[in-house]
Structure 1
Amino acid sequence: MLASSAIAQTPANITAAVTSPQRPASDTERDAARKPGVMLDFSRVKPGDHVADLIPGHGYFTRLFAVAVKPGGKVIAIVPPEAAKRDAEGAAMIAAIAADPAYGDVTVVDGVGSSALGKVDVFWTAQNYHDLHNALSVDQVIEVNETIFKAVKPGGYYVIVDHAAAPGSGLSAANALHRIDPETVKGEVEAAGFILDGESSALANPADPHTANVFDPSIRGKTDQFMLRFKKPK
């Protein structure tokens, strides 16, 4: 009953995305933990939008956004070469989504600076921001955020979901624990020109001690996660 009420209060395009029969069981079985309706609503995605999905993994959010932007919208999955090399199965799944006309207009590009990315209404990345700091220098991450700022339309959004590190820990847990301090993320993204527009505790877990690697069986799938929405000024 509660789930039905939540769906009823959700915009129609997001309800359609979450309840789409195209979604595989491997996606829907994760919904209780990931709360896709809440997450998409937080992103402010609407029909006709162009959405960038950075490092989309196996396409959980790519599939959702592909339905949520109908009619007239577009999803651009950004799969950098190093991500494709690390997860060839995921890269193949994203390519299959893009090749399936049932998902509509989905394309794949290899980087945030790709000319094929164009201008987007929503730039999304989930559980990946900390990894930017594992692959790039701080200066390079700054450049990535500046490039994203250029790609987002005025009034558009940059949404980051990630595993929370202990308050005040900065980048110290990014490699060992795959976590990041949300205050560090705020500072870096705001430095690129974005304005913090919203935060959500929908994925928070106060019982998470922030001391274990996110893949540790004791906490995997139950980590304390933050959701931040930044807006590009008009």
Structure 2
Amino acid sequence: MLPVESCRPALLLALGLAACSGAGSAPPAEPSSSPTAKPDPADTQPAPAQVDPVAIVAADDRDPADRESDARRKPAELLEFMRLAPGMKVADIGAGFGYTTELLARAVGPTGTVYSQNPTFVLDKFAREGWDARLAKPVNANVVGLEREFGDPFPADIEPLDRVVNVLFYHDFGWMKIDRAAHDADVFAALRPGGTYVIVDSSAAAGHGIADSESLHRVEEALVITELEAAGFTLTSRADFLRDPSDTRDWNALPWRSPERAEAGEFSDKFVLEFTKPGA
């Protein structure tokens, strides 16, 4: 509080007074409360911008075919789980036709970057035309296409990533004979400290490991956790929005390989795991 002395400045804004002007001036009245403390600069920083997953999924310009996939893929829940923000650098491993790639592109916005990775085998087998068309859309102007193998998905000079996601391709690493340790190490190296690798896949029966990779397109959750932790990751979160306890885990999880189940709205039990690279 300012002392009441003559000829001392008295900054009482509410009364519009300036400094006292002479020996005969009356002392200013004291304020009724203590001056407000200066805010900590850290408290004045703007909060990180948040994306609205529901609004992203509801965008009018999304493809009708993508909308048809939403019921079984639950994209709003996935985006929420990934905690995305505008400006992030993220990657989509095994992008296929780019369904997830486009959702990521909408989430990180024009100031962010999405690396959409596909191996040559996937592109030549079924996805090249659809993937090329996807990346040509204006909404995907912030997407960088990477035609690279799963064992070496990123160029050496890639900027540190905030997020990497792998939707329904980790199991394929088994029958494709991918060096999973090399893949996991490459993702680990590409992420910034504190960055996350989110893996979504269809559950195999306990004890099956990756043996059902080609026949049923499934992988055991416990195996994925063991391999990612061996690469240096920490399992930090799980989600249940794609779980189905009634799944017997003994049938082909690909919807087009089990059309009767898909038509009935029956889909495989899927785990959703978040692995974090330790550090600040």
Normalised to the residue count of structure 1, the TM-score between the two structures is 0.88
1:18 is aligned to 57
Tell me the equivalent position of 1:57: 96
Where structure 2 has 5 or more consecutive residues not aligned to the other structure, the ranges are 1-49
Q: CA deviation at 1:19?
A: 1.6
Q: Are residue 225 (structure 1) and residue 270 (structure 2) matched?
A: yes
Partner of 2:132: 95
Shift of 1:208: 0.8
Task: Point out where structure 1 has 5 or more consecutive residues left out of the alignment.
Answer: 1-10
TM-superposed CA distance for 1:131, in Å, is: 0.2
Does structure 1 conserve the Cα–Cα contact (< 8 Å) formed by 2:102 and 2:139?
no
1:69-109 deviation per Cα after TM superposition (whole angstroms, max 9, x unaligned): 0141111100111111121xx22222223223332311101
Q: Which of 49, 57, 67 pairs up with 1:28?
A: 67
**Structure 2 Cα separation of the partners of residues 134 and 153 of structure 1:** 30
Task: String of CA shifts for 1:157-191, please: whole Å, max 9, x gaps.
Answer: 10000000012211121121110000000001111
Q: CA deviation at 1:113?
A: 3.2
Matched position secondary structure for 1:30:
helix
What is residue 83 of structure 2 aligned with on the other side? 44
TM superposition outliers: structure 1 runs of 4+ over 4 Å: none
Deviation at 1:231, TM superposition (A): 0.5
Distance (Å, rounded) in 1 between the aligned partners of 2:234 and 2:194: 10
Instruction: Provide the residue aligned with 1:216 in structure 2.
Output: 258
Counterparts of 2:233 and 2:227 in 1: how far apart (Å)?
9
Map of 2:176 onto structure 1: 135
Equivalent residue, structure 2, for 1:164: 203
Alpha-carbon distance between aligned partners in 1 of 2:278 and 2:236, rounded to the nearest angstrom: 10
State the aligned residue count.
Answer: 220
User: Given that residues 109 and 142 in structure 2 are in contact (C-alpha distance below 8 angstroms), is that contact kept between their aligned partners in structure 1?
Assistant: no
The offset of 1:209, in angstroms, is 0.3
Q: Distance in 2 between matches of 1:49 and 1:91?
A: 26
- 1:28-58 CA-to-partner distances (Å, cap 9, x unmatched) read 1221221111011111221111111111111
TM-score, normalization: structure 2?
Answer: 0.74
What is the percent sequence identity of the aligned residues? 34
User: 1:154 aligned to 2:199?
Assistant: no
Q: Larger radius of gyration, structure 1 or 2?
A: 2
Given candidates 180, 183, 191, the residue that maps to 1:144 is 183
Alignment-derived partner of residue 214 in structure 2: 175
1:10-41 per-residue CA deviation (whole Å, 9 max, x = no partner) reads x5342332122221010112212211110111
Q: Which has the higher contact order (CA 8 A, sep 6+)?
A: 1
Residues 186 and 56 (structure 1), Cα distance of their counterparts in 2 relative to 1, 3 Å cut? same
Structure richer in helix, relative to its length? 1
Q: Distance in 2 between matches of 1:12 and 1:121?
A: 15
Secondary structure of 1:223's aligned partner? coil
Quote the RMSD (CA, aligned, Å): 1.6
SS at match of 2:259: coil
Partner of 1:7: none
Distance 1:159 1:49 in 2: 15
Find the residue that maps to 2:195 and give its secondary structure.
Answer: strand
Q: Does 1:124 align with 2:165?
A: yes
